[in-house]
Chain A
Amino acid sequence: MPHVFDREQFLDRHLGLSSDDRAEMLRVIERDSIDDLLSATIPEQIRLRASLALGSAVPEAEVLSMLRDKFNNDVVRRNYIGQGYYGTITPPVIKRNVLENPAWYTAYTPYQPEISQGRLEAILNFQTMIAELTGLALANASLLDEATAVAEAVTMARRVSKNPSNIVLVEKDIHPQTLNVLRTRTEPVGIEIILGGLDDFTDVDAFALVVSWPASSGALASPQSVAASVAHHRSRGVITIASTDLLACAQIIPPGQLGFDVAVGSAQRFGVPMGFGGPHAAFMAVATEHARSLPGRLVGVSTDTAGRPALRLSLQTREQHIRREKATSNICTAQVLLANIAGFYGAWHGPTGLQAIARRVHALASAFASLAASKNLSLVSTDFFDTVALQTPDAQGLVSQARQHGCNIRQIDERTVSASFDETMTAQDVVTLLLAIGVNATLQDVNNSARADQNASLVRTDQFMSQSVFGRYHTEHEMLRYVRRLSDKDLALDRTMIPLGSCTMKLNSTTEMEPITWSLLADLHPYVPADESVGYRSLITDLETMLCAITGYDAVSLQPNAGSQGEFAGLLAIRAYHRSRGDINRTICLIPSSAHGTNAASAVMAGMGVVVIACDESGNVDVQDLREKADAAGERLAALMVTYPSTHGVFETAISEICEIIHQRGGQVYVDGANLNALVAVAQPGKFGADVSHLNLHKTFCIPHGGGGPGVGPVAVRSHLAPFLPGHPLAHHDDSTVGAVSAAPFGSAGILAIPWVYISMMGPDGLLAATGDAILSANYVARRLVFLKLPSVRSVRLFINAVVRCM
């Protein structure tokens, strides 16, 4: 019985159905109750009968203050860490009208281009901006983060290089997180990394070269010598890759003009808040000859039937759902919302505005460098963009001294520290940092020693971003209307239901979305000391606990930035587990023919061979075929990767038997849990036989699709696999034997508040009710369309246990 003081429950806002609606729908599908429907749909042996072990539902009006309280004890310091993440100002017109606007954040990936011309144009702007800034021919529609972008570039290079070597040369002044992810990604596929200086590489045979420009320490080498080295390696069939900084590219010679084939990096500092690590759009730009090898999505121009110019995703045949085990990359969900923000940021400032920001940032860095340099602190490089590295006898001591004075700087090694500057900073921030490291200086000193210009040999002199879109929208009215005009061309959840199977286009509620733009959550650097991230850690621990309670697994890592990355991390855990037991030959991964394309691509990336299992005409795994192929694999069987409920929208009754077949033969069971929406509170993969799953928080747990990202694809495991979850070089405790799969220790931490708020507001009963209604609606649609005898409905059986899904 509700009490008079009870507040409204969020559940009633989240669920679309009233109790009358539910009764009517149950009548149509000829079921007595939701429970009756669930019993008919979910195999009894996997049915969860207990309530989920979660706290009871928190009213919508209370949940945000609960969340905010977590962050109350965070220490706040000024941050000069850099290392791939910088303070940035999201132009308010873009923050409110794109980042906080459901017309943008609730859209789906633009697979239906006719109703997606607005966001396709926005992505095209992003691609154009990246190509222009990096000095290369074309760029893709975003990647997941800078570190995985470097890894994608290296695997792309392996495909296109004519040099048969398996060696990638990596210039050693590279971000440690990038190197770590690159190791995680290259080791399983037999690529060897050689780390060194450019001079050491001259005679080494390799298929790829990776150079950071500017270097991780901020240093800028002589462009002539870099270009000479690039030319030398290219002549030997080496694909040359630059990891670069977009703002630097507005001021210094960009990678394309140094002769690099590929440039990758992060567009974070173009208006996308740091968010304790993500989400941000990474990019990849290439020279023309590599256009068709680019991983990820690519927007291109075409025409409609009347000959009007129209945009759509190009070269779709490269996508893994078509290429499967021959796919060039497993990336699916990317970072479209963030790419769009970066593209609008570019349009807002235009080339001249970007140059002005770059000059200001460089001027701050140059003032710091000239005032900090002394007997005890010597400059590592006299040429730099925004990051100044200093040699000191005691780097750790200097970092703690700065910290005590309220400033974070980066420790590069025992004798080197660095400080990075960004567009949020003023001359006063330079003074503050100087004082913090024991240098007395005044604002006047900073003004006198600032140099906005680079040395002539480094200066970028060509015109860039001269397309009209980068010149038109510099006033707020013009930008406001441009953003509106574009979103008016699109259908998103703010206008209509999006009945996309497998994509779970459920409500992304305002309360869930609000915290992500709070400065508390948005403006935190991922590598701050622990006392600054107490709130985030508490949120993350909570969410891990919630996801364990929901899935029945024992441990969760939130690091993967999309479902595809969760798959990869899960398969790496299986691989590492087998290896830890001396089973180094267990490398065969069985995958049903009905699987999502990312599955096979991820298995290949994890160094496994894919064997395809047949399915019957309803999409169920052919158990006989499975048994035969598992037997044939024998001691080489590593895993089965199966989607549950199946990609055909059915709860396979044989799932327990399937798991048993694999376990008996020493394999591990990977259940693709991307579509957990039909399972939450009714069955638990961690209890019905699976060893590992990834979940797509951007489906079941309300992170909006953003027009093609961001996503969060946590990997959940049973206890025997827990030691093999992804590690991270910058995590406060890293005892994992597996490397990082993302640049940030907690991946896209900035959006984890969304599932936390959702689960908190729903509570165990609410989550069960949501699953019941999702299954009810799918069955109702199926039944109504069957009665209509639509020609497209081939088989009634197909829908008997349907959940909402497709593709």
Chain B
Amino acid sequence: MYVDGANLNALVAVAQPGKFGADVSHLNLHKTFCIPHGGGGPGVGPVAVRSHLAPFLPGHPLAHHDDSTVGAVSAAPFGSAGILAIPWVYISMMGPDGLLAATGDAILSANYVARRLRDVYPTLYSGPSGTVAHECILDIRGITKDTGVSVDDIAKRLMDFCFHAPTMSFPVTGTLMVEPTESESLAEVNRFIEAMLQIGVEIDSVRQGKVDIEDSPLRHAPHTVEDVVSSNWARPYSRETALFPTPLLRTRSFYPAVSRIDAVFGDRNLVCNCAPIEEYAMSLESITLS
């Protein structure tokens, strides 16, 4: 029995795959154990087994003792050894009680988000007592059916609130999966919830027919400063709505560099190298202007 333990964050100190029936798991140390994501790596994905599988863990021709019957899976005997200090330091500083507290807070935050959002965004799955684990899946399919507002629209509109989008359409198409983690303050979690609720109001306007989805800030999200200051602004919503959907955002310092990107165009016209310098003339100039 293989338990995928990539998302161990809800299990640490509360349940153990090695004891509840699994024979083997891998963990993602770059999730639960604080190795940063680095924009897409590095990662460390140790594999953990019960004793009967131990002889079959990866071997390595240059390990000091290699009695494994399975070959190496990485070039180096200990993989990305250079970053193993990160989880070591984390676990050392947390201790057993700290790890339990972290799991508790991770689960608490996920449930808090699910509960506060459920009137607008129903939670797709929950356990028998109505709770979720360390993350919650918000079901957007009903909204999309009623209004045409897609998972994409919500994810992109969140950028105008200076938020990173939640996981989109995984594991279920038409959903958003939110994992707040134990490291966020209540103020930050609330800021996220309020953004989602404000987006809910914008969805309502579409639902009530006050705004056409094609003309809505949702469909045009994210907004660049360049779009918004253009003298040709002709959208039915205000520039303020575009850039400052809540008053606190008036002092925001982050703005997306480009608006919604045409993925299909890029796939059809595949370019995967830097263009010759002349083609970049415009944007290079803008770089020097910080």
Asked if residues A491 and B183 are in contact (CB atoms below 8 Å), the reply is no
How many positions in chain A have a CB within 8 Å of any CB in the partner chain?
Answer: 11
Asked if residues B253 and A489 are in contact (CB atoms below 8 Å), the reply is yes
Question: Which residue of chain B lies nearest to A489 when distances are taken between CB atoms in the complex?
Answer: B253
Q: How far is the CB of B86 from chain A (nearest CB, A)?
A: 13
Asked if residues A488 and B253 are in contact (CB atoms below 8 Å), the reply is yes
Asked if residues B254 and A488 are in contact (CB atoms below 8 Å), the reply is yes
Cβ < 8 Å to B, chain A residues 568-607 = none
Of A1-9, A475-483, A611-619, A674-682, the one contacting chain B is A475-483
List of A residues within 8 angstroms of B183 by Cβ:
475-477
Asked if residues B290 and A485 are in contact (CB atoms below 8 Å), the reply is no
Q: Known contacts being A475-B183, A488-B253, is A495 close to B188, with CB within 8 Å?
A: no
List of A residues within 8 angstroms of B289 by Cβ:
496
Q: How far is the CB of A307 from chain B (nearest CB, A)?
A: 13
Q: How far is the CB of A498 from chain B (nearest CB, A)?
A: 12
Asked if residues A491 and B185 are in contact (CB atoms below 8 Å), the reply is no
List of B residues within 8 angstroms of A96 by Cβ:
none
List of B residues within 8 angstroms of A292 by Cβ:
none
Q: Known contacts being A476-B183, A477-B183, A485-B253, is A491 close to B290, with CB within 8 Å?
A: yes
Q: How far is the CB of A70 from chain B (nearest CB, A)?
A: 28
List of A residues within 8 angstroms of B187 by Cβ:
472, 478
A477 to B184, CA, bound (A): 7
Produce 1/0 per residue, A68-96, CB < 8 A to B. Answer: 00000000000000000000000000000
Asked if residues A495 and B290 are in contact (CB atoms below 8 Å), the reply is yes
A645 to B68, CA, bound (A): 75
* A-B interface pairs (CB < 8 A), number: 20
Q: How far is the CB of A117 from chain B (nearest CB, A)?
A: 9
Cβ < 8 Å to A, chain B residues 185-242 = 185, 187-188
List of A residues within 8 angstroms of B184 by Cβ:
477
Q: How far is the CB of A644 from chain B (nearest CB, A)?
A: 34
Q: Known contacts being A491-B290, A495-B290, A496-B290, is A477 close to B253, with CB within 8 Å?
A: no
Question: Which residue of chain A lies nearest to B250 when distances are taken between CB atoms in the complex?
Answer: A308
Asked if residues B188 and A478 are in contact (CB atoms below 8 Å), the reply is yes
A12 to B167, CA, bound (A): 45
List of A residues within 8 angstroms of B290 by Cβ:
491, 495-496
A485 to B289, CA, bound (A): 19
Produce 1/0 per residue, A478-510, CB < 8 A to B. Answer: 100000010011010001100000000000000
Question: Which residue of chain B lies nearest to A484 when distances are taken between CB atoms in the complex?
Answer: B253
A495 to B184, CA, bound (A): 29
Q: How far is the CB of A468 from chain B (nearest CB, A)?
A: 11
Cβ < 8 Å to A, chain B residues 232-262 = 253-254
Q: How far is the CB of A89 from chain B (nearest CB, A)?
A: 14
Produce 1/0 per residue, B163-188, CB < 8 A to A. Answer: 00000000000000000000111011
A472 to B183, CA, bound (A): 14
A485 to B253, CA, bound (A): 7
A477 to B288, CA, bound (A): 30
A476 to B185, CA, bound (A): 10
Asked if residues B254 and A477 are in contact (CB atoms below 8 Å), the reply is no
Asked if residues A475 and B253 are in contact (CB atoms below 8 Å), the reply is no
Q: How far is the CB of A22 from chain B (nearest CB, A)?
A: 20
Of A475, A485, A495, A496, which one neighbours B185 at CB under 8 angstroms? A475
Q: How far is the CB of A491 from chain B (nearest CB, A)?
A: 7
Q: Known contacts being A491-B290, A495-B290, is A478 close to B185, with CB within 8 Å?
A: yes
A489 to B253, CA, bound (A): 7
List of B residues within 8 angstroms of A475 by Cβ:
183, 185
Question: Which residue of chain A lies nearest to B183 when distances are taken between CB atoms in the complex?
Answer: A477
Question: Which residue of chain A lies nearest to B184 when distances are taken between CB atoms in the complex?
Answer: A477
Cβ < 8 Å to B, chain A residues 433-464 = none
List of A residues within 8 angstroms of B185 by Cβ:
475, 477-478
Q: How far is the CB of B244 from chain A (nearest CB, A)?
A: 13
List of A residues within 8 angstroms of B253 by Cβ:
485, 488-489
A807 to B71, CA, bound (A): 70
A144 to B253, CA, bound (A): 33
Q: How far is the CB of B161 from chain A (nearest CB, A)?
A: 14
A475 to B185, CA, bound (A): 8
List of B residues within 8 angstroms of A495 by Cβ:
290
Question: Which residue of chain B lies nearest to A476 when distances are taken between CB atoms in the complex?
Answer: B183
Question: Which residue of chain B lies nearest to A485 when distances are taken between CB atoms in the complex?
Answer: B253
A477 to B183, CA, bound (A): 7
A477 to B182, CA, bound (A): 11
Produce 1/0 per residue, A379-396, CB < 8 A to B. Answer: 000000000000000000
A476 to B182, CA, bound (A): 12
A488 to B162, CA, bound (A): 14
A478 to B189, CA, bound (A): 12
Q: How far is the CB of A505 from chain B (nearest CB, A)?
A: 15
A496 to B254, CA, bound (A): 18
Q: How far is the CB of B250 from chain A (nearest CB, A)?
A: 9
List of B residues within 8 angstroms of A491 by Cβ:
290
List of A residues within 8 angstroms of B288 by Cβ:
496
Produce 1/0 per residue, B99-113, CB < 8 A to A. Answer: 000000000000000
Question: Which residue of chain B lies nearest to A472 when distances are taken between CB atoms in the complex?
Answer: B187
Cβ < 8 Å to A, chain B residues 134-150 = none
Question: Which residue of chain B lies nearest to A488 when distances are taken between CB atoms in the complex?
Answer: B253
Q: How far is the CB of A482 from chain B (nearest CB, A)?
A: 11
Q: How far is the CB of B69 from chain A (nearest CB, A)?
A: 44
A491 to B289, CA, bound (A): 11
List of A residues within 8 angstroms of B188 by Cβ:
477-478
Q: How far is the CB of B56 from chain A (nearest CB, A)?
A: 40
A478 to B290, CA, bound (A): 25
A489 to B290, CA, bound (A): 12
A489 to B250, CA, bound (A): 13
A489 to B288, CA, bound (A): 17
Question: Which residue of chain B lies nearest to A490 when distances are taken between CB atoms in the complex?
Answer: B253
Question: Which residue of chain B lies nearest to A496 when distances are taken between CB atoms in the complex?
Answer: B290
Q: How far is the CB of B287 from chain A (nearest CB, A)?
A: 10
Question: Which residue of chain B lies nearest to A475 when distances are taken between CB atoms in the complex?
Answer: B185
A472 to B186, CA, bound (A): 11
A19 to B187, CA, bound (A): 54
A496 to B287, CA, bound (A): 10
A475 to B187, CA, bound (A): 12
Q: How far is the CB of A118 from chain B (nearest CB, A)?
A: 9
A475 to B182, CA, bound (A): 11
Q: How far is the CB of A473 from chain B (nearest CB, A)?
A: 9
A114 to B197, CA, bound (A): 33
Q: How far is the CB of B209 from chain A (nearest CB, A)?
A: 36
A591 to B247, CA, bound (A): 54
Question: Which residue of chain B lies nearest to A491 when distances are taken between CB atoms in the complex?
Answer: B290
A489 to B183, CA, bound (A): 25
List of B residues within 8 angstroms of A472 by Cβ:
187
Question: Which residue of chain A lies nearest to B253 when distances are taken between CB atoms in the complex?
Answer: A488
List of B residues within 8 angstroms of A485 by Cβ:
253
List of B residues within 8 angstroms of A489 by Cβ:
253
Q: How far is the CB of A257 from chain B (nearest CB, A)?
A: 33
Which one of B183, B184, B253, B254 has the greatest number of beta carbons of chain A within 10 Å? B253
Q: How far is the CB of B195 from chain A (nearest CB, A)?
A: 15
Q: How far is the CB of B168 from chain A (nearest CB, A)?
A: 23
A476 to B181, CA, bound (A): 14
Q: List 20 A-B contacts (CB under 8 A).
A: A472-B187, A475-B183, A475-B185, A476-B183, A477-B183, A477-B184, A477-B185, A477-B188, A478-B185, A478-B187, A478-B188, A485-B253, A488-B253, A488-B254, A489-B253, A491-B290, A495-B290, A496-B288, A496-B289, A496-B290
Q: Which 4 A-B pairs have the closest CB atoms?
A: A488-B253, A495-B290, A477-B183, A478-B185
Known: A477-B183, A478-B188. 10 other contacts (CB 8 A): A472-B187, A476-B183, A477-B188, A478-B185, A478-B187, A485-B253, A488-B253, A489-B253, A491-B290, A495-B290
